Every structure is written in C-alpha cells, then in structure tokens.
Amino acid sequence: MNNIITKTLLLILCLASISVSGQWTYKNINSEFDGTFKKAFTQTNNSGYLIMEEGDTIMKDSVEIKRPFLALRGSYFCDDYAIIDFVLIVNGSNKKYEFNVSKSSDSKLYYFDESIWTDEFIKDFKSASKCSIRVNQEYCSDDYYVFNFSGSAAAYNFITKKTN
C-alpha cells in the first residue's frame, strides 16, 4: 500500500513540475473572422505571456523573409509607451536587449516593433533556454516576467515558415 502511495505522489509531483515549467506552444488557428493563421505563445508567468504571430514579409538580400509579430500580454499596463529589458539566457550567458514598445487600446498588451528581429536577436531567441523581462513604466511599478524558452526555435520556425 505504501508503495502505491509513494508512486502516486511521485507521479503527481512529476506532472506538477511539467505544467509549471512552461514552454512555447504553437498551432494553426482557424477563425471565422480572420481565416487560418499561425500563433505561438508561452506559458503564463505573473499573469503574462508572450504571443508570436505571422508578421510582414520583407526582402533582404533578394530573399523574402517573414518577420514575426511579437507581443507581451499582461494584466494591465499604465504607460502608452515603455522600455522593456529583454534578457535571453543562451548557454548560461545573459544576452541583454532593450526594446521600445507601444500599448494596446485595452492596456493589456505591449507590442514589439518587427524591427527587433535582427540576425543576432533571432539567433539568441532560437537558442535561449530562458527569457527574463522587465517592463519599465513611469506611472506604475515595473512588471517582471520569466519564461521557459524551450521550444523557442521550433515556435519561431513554425511562425516564419512559408505556407503554400
């Protein structure tokens, strides 16, 4: 009987650690309003999560490149414009970025400009194991988020892959 209880508790602990760890999830969304589109998102942390969708296609060195659209969802953001400190942990090293963002009309999203997708940022984004974000707000206290970035390369590749 003790053996069954021990195994059951061990199974519960393993399942709980899986759901807490979080990672990127991605899928095709079918909307009666917007048709079919790709979407990726992280697990929730501190009432927030990252969202990635298909963005604009640009030409770079005579090659078409799809840049993803990236946003941070939170419970409420005060400032119309903010600076976000974005730290990616790559092979144990901090890769620090600073981005200007703009707020959605419902104050629950900060939108990153698609120009964040430099070659260096893409490489770090796809290789990162963790992402720490600090939202620097003037009128409210700063918000902090930490996301497990396992699956970030697969999510990025899914969003940017051309569909026929």
Q: Is residue 6 part of a domain?
A: no
Q: Is residue 16 part of a domain?
A: no
Longest CA–CA span in the chain (Å) reads 68
Q: Is residue 12 part of a domain?
A: no
**H-type alpha helices, 44-128:** 119-127
Q: Is residue 140 part of a domain?
A: yes
Task: Report the pLDDT value the prediction gives residue 11, as an integer from 0 to 100.
Answer: 39
Q: Is residue 19 part of a domain?
A: no
pTM assigned to the model: 0.80
The gap between the terminal CA atoms of the chain, to the nearest Å, is 57
Q: Is residue 49 part of a domain?
A: yes
For the chain, 164 residues long, give each residue's pLDDT as a single digit of tens. Answer: 555 554 444 434 333 333 333 489 999 999 899 888 899 999 888 788 999 998 877 777 777 777 899 999 998 999 999 999 999 999 999 999 999 999 999 999 999 998 899 999 999 999 999 999 999 999 999 999 999 999 999 999 999 987 65
Q: Which residue, among 35, 77, 70, 36, has the nearest Cα to 50 in the 3D structure?
A: 70
Model pLDDT for residues 13-54, shown as the tens digit of each residue = 333 333 333 489 999 999 899 888 899 999 888 788 999 998
Domain that holds residue 36: 24-160
Task: Report the pLDDT value the prediction gives residue 23, as an integer from 0 to 100.
Answer: 85
Give the domain CATH number at 55. Answer: 2.60.40
What residues form DSSP beta bridges with 143?
135
